[in-house]
């Protein structure tokens, strides 16, 4: 990040994401291990457990993906930063591609909302425990909301930087 | 008239009868309408697995499908996987034909969800494929030690346990590997043809329990259906029915043919007399069915019971 | 339309859109140009990544991270050093072999690189190895993390292609061992005239025996891991997903109390880091699945096959072109994205021209694994640079040499000698 951002909400949100990532990872690893041991000892498993694990997994995936957006660590072809040496061109391209990314996150919010509201209205459920499907699918929606938020902020920063380069301040 | 394009999703492999019937369906419709209706078949889960395809048929982003029926919208649809619903092909011809009791119940359930049922593709009576022999397989009261993989659904778990087998739920994608290494020692549900196509390299024993009837359903989005002319609708229904009857014949033939193939391949195949099957079926109906009542609703359960009075 | 979609994909990748969003852009273009209703896109992505089989990937990443922070690799390296450390250029060879051994524990190449790299880079620098060269060598060797089983890449391939995970794991094993040997030998050959290198002291038989006993003892808990993981999987105790979970759980007490590298603080850090990596990969899978669904609906595989067959009809020639196609993909994207995009498109073509799917698994593994070090998208090369401080232009030339002298020959061998990839699956699994 260009500069440190503060505030209870900003930091609290990040801490919440880190905690979800930490505990959900452990829950998944430990419960799969226990499941495997139970099968070995009792010749049966925790029936329907994979259904519950996969809900934790979805939340882990999308909260993690959003955290990757905050860190700006999504995989990129590093052509611009490694091979473009012209400062103006480089900063323009970075600002542009971040802006496009943020835009597509908003498109993603729209599509995720479509999926979520469909499950909600139709009352779709998982096969064993009949858990509503909006529970895992909410992660997709929230993931895109957070990604849109973080990429928009990155865009603002990169845009400012590009502007300053053009104005000759950097 | 305007040219119409239909995407039809499927789940079976390219050489399976279901896919062949899908292509026949597309061809028949194409010829009968002089190419006015063009159906493109996407077999082998190309457009996603049956859970997703069903959802898309509901939404209309896939117009047609021949798939197994998932239960995320309505758990009563698990009826299609009910153990020992029927025991032989004579009953199948009747119950699954339009007007038959299963057809009627299922048609109503799909209709609630915005899906029109056109018919079924019947794909054989299922049994158990295992990697080690089962103890006294004809007697459901004998506790067996062969660990059977079941899909994560109550119908499969409860009925397999009623037959005396311990179960473990493993996702379908991991089943082959699990059988290969011994994480599980058998799987339930597949008719001889599926056992041959997918599992012949890992399975050593096959038990023809006839516990499930493998079926896929011909489904079409209801809004799309309502836009078809009455003639086209009739054409679709008739074509599905012709293929349904054909599929019964094919299944009957394939059940025998592939059992022989499995034997010739070196597998130990066990078949049961109708009395033996009746004992196992009675046990499953007695033990597993009551527990499944909450899944399929008391109304449907009483309709099922009527069939066995 | 398809051509525009592919062009759009390439352009967005080059101007620096994150890979998932480049896929997303291309997918939305097809949606718009083909008048599709976009409603199904997210449903498809969501359903695709819901498979429990895929959970093996985050768990292997997590296990790798824990082992890295837990100092598990150090003991392995010390043991290997005992055998190859005393020849000139031996330390480079130690690094290569260490990557291979570590590869049998972890399923990911970046975990291999951070783990082995963080220990070997300082040592290599001390002994006088050129920075750019070591970055290139370790980036290249860390690909062994996905060629020696377990392998996240092969999990992806088997999942998309409907093949046995176990067979796919075995398919890349011999090519992986060949590459290990080639890179170790190449390293010694390149450095044969470099007089700056320091070589570790010779030990007499008595000292050697003592050191061997000591170092083996110390490495024992780490050496147990591949036995746990691979023995567990092939012995039928656990599924690959469970093996990944077990190895992550096993690494926790080992890292805390045996190797004492883990503390409460870095424990939480490393889990959050691996969860971020997981999230980043899964968002990518989510979007690539949407794109490949559209490619299938637009019948891209058939179109590519027709194009290829218009150029040549021989199996030999088509395989060559599939390789070139994958090399280009590997230049543009990371290994997971490239696997997800190439498998549904190229596997049907390979099968149609008579290539065994498990043989193709190995071809794809070596080719796309190599993609990790082919610029412009060369995540491992950049990661290596970040770890040891080499600039991209310093490591570029040695990377190209490694590609030319090790990777291309290995790729050709894997492609045109099916025996290398099929022998083990046939022997151990009875694959026909
Ligand atoms: Na590995
Ligand atoms: Na690359």
Q: Give how far B164 is from chain A: nearest CA, Å.
A: 13
CA proximity to C280, closest of A145, A58, A151, A67: A67
Residues in B touching A45 (Cβ below 8 Å): 168-169
Look up tokens 């119950």; give the residue.
Answer: B95
CA proximity to C9, closest of C307, C365, C344, C338: C338
How far does residue C104's CA lie from ligand 1's centre (Å)? 5
**Cα C36 from Cα C44, distance rounded (Å):** 14
- Residue C40 near residue C226 (C-beta atoms within 8 A): no
Neighbour tally for C314: CB within 10 Å:
10
Q: How many CB contacts within 8 angstroms connect chain A with chain C?
A: 195
Query: Is the per-residue pLDDT at A2 higher than 50?
Result: no
Residue of A nearest to B171 (CA): A50
Query: Is the per-residue pLDDT at C266 higher than 60?
Result: yes
pLDDT range class, residue A7, cuts 50, 70, 90: confident
Instruction: Give the residue-averaged pLDDT of C3-13.
Output: 89
How much is the pLDDT for A3?
47
Is the Cβ of B50 closer than 8 Å to some Cβ of chain A? no
> B116 has which bridge partners?
B220
How much is the pLDDT for A1?
43
**Cα C52 from Cα C43, distance rounded (Å):** 17
Query: Is the per-residue pLDDT at B117 higher than 80?
Result: yes
Query: Is the per-residue pLDDT at C416 higher than 50?
Result: yes
Nearest CB to B180: which of C36, C53, C166?
Answer: C166
How far does residue C142's CA lie from ligand 1's centre (Å)? 10
**Cα C61 from Cα A42, distance rounded (Å):** 29
How much is the pLDDT for C350?
92
Identify which ligand lies nearest to the alpha carbon of C105. Answer: 1
Instruction: Give the residue-averaged pLDDT of A116-131.
Output: 93
Per-residue pLDDT reduced to its tens digit, B251-284: 999 999 999 999 999 999 999 999 999 999 999 9
Query: Is the per-residue pLDDT at C117 higher than 80?
Result: yes
pLDDT range class, residue C199, cuts 50, 70, 90: low
**Strands B4-10 and B64-67, sheet pairing:** parallel
Residue of B nearest to A128 (CA): B153
Q: Helical H runs in C312-391? A: 315-332, 335-352, 357-371, 379-388
How much is the pLDDT for C393?
83
Q: Give how far C264 is from chain A: nearest CA, Å.
A: 12
- Residue B217 near residue B80 (C-beta atoms within 8 A): yes
Cis peptide before C57 (omega within 30 of 0): no
Phi and psi angles of residue B242, each rounded to the nearest 5 degrees, phi first: -60, -45
Contact B73 A122 (CB under 8 A): yes
First to last CA, chain B: 52
Residue of A nearest to C244 (CA): A29
Query: Is the per-residue pLDDT at B231 higher than 60?
Result: yes
Look up tokens 């030999």; give the residue.
Answer: C316
HEC assignment per residue over chain B: CCCEEEEEEECCCCCCHHHHHHHHHHHHHHHHCCCCEEEEEECCCCCCCHHHHHHHHHHCCCCEEEECCCCCCCHHHHHHHCCCCCCCHHHHHHHCCCCCHHHHHHHHHHHHCCEEEEEEEEEEECCEEECCCCCCCCCCCCCCCCCEEECCCHHHHHHHHHCCCCEEECCHHHHHHHHHHCCCCEEECCCHHHHHHHHCCCCCEEEECCCCEEEEEEEEEHHHHHHCCHHHHHHHHHHHHHHHHHHHHHHHHHHHHHHHHHHHCCCEEEECCHHHHHHHHHHHHHHHHHHHHHHHCHHHHHHHHHHCC
**Cα C371 from Cα C424, distance rounded (Å):** 25
Query: Is the per-residue pLDDT at B126 higher than 60?
Result: yes
Residues in B touching C244 (Cβ below 8 Å): none
- Residue C68 near residue C76 (C-beta atoms within 8 A): no
**SS3 call for A132:** strand
If you count them, how many residues does chain B have? Answer: 309
Residues in C touching A18 (Cβ below 8 Å): 268, 272
How much is the pLDDT for C300?
82
Residues 100-159 of A with CB under 8 A from C: 100-101, 104-105, 107-108, 111-112, 114-115, 118, 136-137, 140, 143, 147
How much is the pLDDT for C111?
81
How far does residue B23's CA lie from ligand 1's centre (Å)? 42
Mean pLDDT of chain A: 90
Give A162 or C35, the one with higher predicted confidence. Answer: A162
Instruction: Give the residue-averaged pLDDT of C117-135.
Output: 88
Q: Which two tokens stand for residue C226?
A: 């591949």
Q: Give how far A96 is from chain B: nearest CA, Å.
A: 33
How far does residue C376's CA lie from ligand 2's centre (Å)? 6
Is the Cβ of C48 closer than 8 Å to some Cβ of chain B? yes
Identify which ligand lies nearest to the alpha carbon of C143. Answer: 1
How far does residue A138's CA lie from ligand 1's centre (Å)? 33
Contact A75 C246 (CB under 8 A): no
pLDDT range class, residue C236, cuts 50, 70, 90: confident
Query: Is the per-residue pLDDT at C430 higher than 80?
Result: no
Identify which ligand lies nearest to the alpha carbon of C333. Answer: 2
ipTM over 0.95: no
Residues in B touching A126 (Cβ below 8 Å): 72
Contact B56 C52 (CB under 8 A): no
Residue of B nearest to C299 (CA): B42
Helices then strands, each counted (H, E), chain A: 5, 0
How much is the pLDDT for C200?
66
Burial class (CB in 10 A: 0-12, 13-18, 19+), B80: buried
Query: Is the per-residue pLDDT at C282 higher than 50?
Result: yes
DSSP characters over C383-428: HHHHHH---HHHHHHHHHHHIIIIIHHHHHHHHH-HHHHHHHHHHH
Contact A127 B167 (CB under 8 A): no
- The fraction of chain C above a pLDDT of 90, given in percent, is 39
CB within 8 Å of C319: residues ≥ 6 apart: C350, C353, C355, C363, C415, C416
Q: Which two tokens stand for residue C48?
A: 């695709």
HEC assignment per residue over C287-321: HHHHHHHHHHHCCHHHHHHHHHHHHCCCHHHHHHH
pLDDT range class, residue A4, cuts 50, 70, 90: low
**Cα B141 from Cα B280, distance rounded (Å):** 9
C-alpha R_g of chain B: 19
Contact A33 C333 (CB under 8 A): no
Per-residue pLDDT reduced to its tens digit, C315-357: 999 999 999 999 988 887 788 888 988 898 899 889 988 999 9
Nearest CB to C43: which of B42, B56, B176?
Answer: B56
How far does residue C183's CA lie from ligand 1's centre (Å)? 17
Is the Cβ of C237 closer than 8 Å to some Cβ of chain B? yes
Nearest CB to A79: which of C14, C18, C38?
Answer: C14
Residues 95-114 of B with CB under 8 A from A: 113
How far does residue C169's CA lie from ligand 1's centre (Å)? 9
Give C256 or C205, the one with higher predicted confidence. Answer: C256
Going by the DSSP 8-state scheme, the letter that residue C353 receives in this structure is T
**Cα B290 from Cα B162, distance rounded (Å):** 12
How much is the pLDDT for C198?
66
Identify which ligand lies nearest to the alpha carbon of C109. Answer: 1
How far does residue C385's CA lie from ligand 2's centre (Å)? 15
Q: Which two tokens stand for residue C430?
A: 């009875």
How much is the pLDDT for A56?
97
Nearest CB to B72: which of A45, A47, A127?
Answer: A127
Look up tokens 């094993």; give the residue.
Answer: C173
First to last CA, chain A: 17
CA proximity to C347, closest of C158, C144, C107, C155: C158
Give B85 or B64, the one with higher predicted confidence. Answer: B64
Sign of CA dihedral C196, C113, C371, C234: positive
Instruction: Give the residue-averaged pLDDT of A103-117.
Output: 97
Per-residue pLDDT reduced to its tens digit, B10-56: 998 888 999 999 999 999 999 999 999 999 999 888 888 899 999 99
**Cα B55 from Cα A100, distance rounded (Å):** 31
Q: Which two tokens stand for residue B289?
A: 């069915």
How much is the pLDDT for A170?
65
What is the CA angle B96-B98-B100, rounded to 5?
A: 55
C-alpha R_g of chain C: 22
Per-residue pLDDT reduced to its tens digit, C161-198: 888 888 999 999 999 999 999 999 999 998 887 777 66
How far does residue C81's CA lie from ligand 2's centre (Å)? 31
**Cα C420 from Cα C418, distance rounded (Å):** 5
Interface-testing mutation among B180, B185, B201, B204, with chain C (most C C-beta atoms within 10 A): B180
How far does residue B108's CA lie from ligand 1's centre (Å)? 51
- Residue C273 near residue C49 (C-beta atoms within 8 A): no
Tell me the HSE value of B181 on the side-chain side, using a 13 A CA sphere. Answer: 21
CB within 8 Å of C196: residues ≥ 6 apart: C128
Contact B168 A124 (CB under 8 A): no
Looking at B134-148, C25-39, C217-231, which range is the least confident one?
A: C217-231
CB within 8 Å of C62: residues ≥ 6 apart: A25, A29, C248, C271, C274, C275, C278
Identify which ligand lies nearest to the alpha carbon of C149. Answer: 1
Nearest CB to C59: which of A29, A96, A143?
Answer: A29
Sign of CA dihedral C42, C46, C47, C48: positive
What are the strands of the beta sheet with B268-271, ordered from one edge? B167-169, B148-150, B186-188, B128-130, B205-208, B268-271
What is the CA angle C56-C58-C63, rounded to 5?
A: 90
The H or E element containing residue A56 is helix A49-71
Nearest CB to B177: which of C43, C239, C297?
Answer: C239
- The fraction of chain B above a pLDDT of 90, given in percent, is 81
Q: Which two tokens stand for residue B98?
A: 């339009």
Q: Which two tokens stand for residue A150?
A: 């973080």
**SS3 call for C104:** coil
């Amino acid at each position: 990040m260009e500069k440190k951002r503060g505030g209870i909400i900003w930091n609290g949100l990040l801490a919440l994401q880190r905690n979800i990532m930490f505990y959900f990872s452990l829950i998944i690893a430990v419960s799969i291990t226990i499941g495997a041991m139970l099968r070995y000892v009792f010749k049966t498993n925790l029936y329907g457990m994979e259904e519950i694990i996969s809900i934790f997994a979805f939340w882990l995936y999308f909260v993690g993906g959003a955290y990757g957006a905050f860190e700006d660590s999504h995989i990129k072809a590093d052509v611009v930063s490694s091979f473009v040496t012209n400062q103006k061109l480089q900063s323009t391209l970075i600002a542009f591609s971040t802006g496009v990314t943020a835009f597509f996150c908003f498109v993603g919010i729209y599509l995720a909302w479509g999926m979520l509201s469909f499950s909600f209205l139709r009352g779709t459920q998982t096969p064993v425990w009949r858990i509503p499907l909006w529970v895992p699918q909410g992660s997709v929606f929230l993931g895109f909301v957070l990604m849109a938020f973080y990429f928009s902020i990155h865009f603002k920063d990169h845009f400012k930087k590009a502007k300053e380069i053009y104005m000759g301040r950097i | 008239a305007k040219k119409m394009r239909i995407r039809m999703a499927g789940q079976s492999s390219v050489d399976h009868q279901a896919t062949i019937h899908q292509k026949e369906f597309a061809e028949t419709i194409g010829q009968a309408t002089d190419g006015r209706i063009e159906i493109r078949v996407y077999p082998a889960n190309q457009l996603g697995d049956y859970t997703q395809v069903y959802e898309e048929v509901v939404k209309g982003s896939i117009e047609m499908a021949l798939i197994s029926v998932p239960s995320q919208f309505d758990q009563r649809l698990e009826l299609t996987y009910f153990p020992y619903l029927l025991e032989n092909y004579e009953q199948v011809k009747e119950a699954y034909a339009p007007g038959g009791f299963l057809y009627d119940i299922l048609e109503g359930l799909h209709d609630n969800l915005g899906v029109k049922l056109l018919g079924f593709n019947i794909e054989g009576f299922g049994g158990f494929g295992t990697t080690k022999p089962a103890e006294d397989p004809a007697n459901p009261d004998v506790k067996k030690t062969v660990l059977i993989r079941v899909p994560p659904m109550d119908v499969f778990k409860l009925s397999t346990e009623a037959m005396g087998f311990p179960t473990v739920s493993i996702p379908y994608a991991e089943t082959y590997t699990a059988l290969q290494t011994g994480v599980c020692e058998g799987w339930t549900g597949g008719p001889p043809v599926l056992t041959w196509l997918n599992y012949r390299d890992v399975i050593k024993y096959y038990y023809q329990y006839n516990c499930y009837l493998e079926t896929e359903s011909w489904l079409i989005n209801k809004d799309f259906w309502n836009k078809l002319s009455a003639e086209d609708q009739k054409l679709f229904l008739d074509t599905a029915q012709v293929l349904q009857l054909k599929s019964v014949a094919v299944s009957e033939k394939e059940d025998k043919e592939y059992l022989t193939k499995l034997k010739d391949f070196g597998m130990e195949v066990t078949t049961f007399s109708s009395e033996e099957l009746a004992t196992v079926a009675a046990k499953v109906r007695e033990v597993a069915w009551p527990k499944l009542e909450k899944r399929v609703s008391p109304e449907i359960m009483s309709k099922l019971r009527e069939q066995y009075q | 339309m398809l051509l525009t979609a592919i062009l759009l994909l390439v352009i967005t990748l080059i101007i620096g859109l994150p890979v998932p969003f480049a896929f997303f852009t291309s997918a939305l273009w097809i949606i718009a140009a083909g008048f599709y209703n976009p409603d199904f896109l997210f449903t498809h992505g969501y359903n695709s990544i819901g498979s429990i089989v895929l959970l093996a990937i985050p768990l292997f990443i997590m296990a790798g991270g824990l082992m890295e922070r837990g100092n598990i690799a150090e003991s392995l390296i010390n043991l290997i050093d005992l055998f190859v450390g005393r020849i000139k250029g031996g330390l480079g060879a130690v690094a290569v072999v260490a990557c291979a051994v570590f590869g049998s524990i972890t399923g990911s190449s970046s975990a291999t690189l951070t783990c082995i790299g963080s220990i070997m880079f300082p040592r290599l620098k001390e002994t006088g190895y050129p920075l750019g060269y070591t970055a290139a060598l370790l980036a290249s060797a860390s690909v062994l993390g996905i060629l020696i089983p377990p392998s996240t890449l092969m999990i992806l391939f088997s999942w998309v292609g409907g093949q046995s995970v176990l067979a796919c794991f075995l398919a890349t094993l011999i090519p992986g061992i060949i590459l290990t040997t080639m890179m170790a030998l190449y390293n010694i050959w390149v450095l044969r005239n470099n007089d700056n290198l320091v070589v570790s002291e010779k030990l007499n038989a008595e000292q050697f025996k003592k050191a061997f006993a000591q170092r083996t003892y110390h490495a024992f808990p780490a050496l147990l891991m591949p036995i746990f993981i691979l023995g567990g999987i092939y012995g039928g105790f656990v599924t690959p997903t469970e093996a990944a979970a077990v190895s992550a759980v096993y690494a926790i007490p080992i890292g805390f109390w045996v190797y004492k590298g883990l503390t409460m603080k870095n424990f939480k850090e490393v889990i959050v880091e691996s969860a971020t990596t997981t999230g980043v990969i899964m968002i990518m899978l989510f979007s690539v699945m949407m794109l490949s669904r559209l490619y299938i609906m637009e019948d891209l595989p058939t179109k590519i096959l027709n194009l290829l067959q218009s150029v040549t009809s021989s199996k030999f020639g088509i395989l060559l072109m599939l390789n070139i196609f994958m090399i280009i993909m590997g230049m543009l994207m990371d290994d997971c994205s490239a696997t997800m995009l190439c498998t549904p498109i190229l596997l049907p073509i390979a099968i149609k021209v008579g290539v065994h799917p498990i043989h193709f698994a190995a071809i794809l593994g070596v080719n796309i694994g190599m993609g990790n070090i082919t610029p412009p998208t060369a995540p491992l090369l950049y990661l290596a640079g970040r770890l040891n401080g080499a600039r991209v232009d310093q490591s570029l030339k040695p990377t190209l040499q490694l590609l030319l002298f090790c990777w291309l020959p290995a790729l050709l061998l894997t492609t045109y000698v099916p025996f290398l990839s099929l022998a083990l699956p046939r022997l151990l699994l009875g694959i026909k």
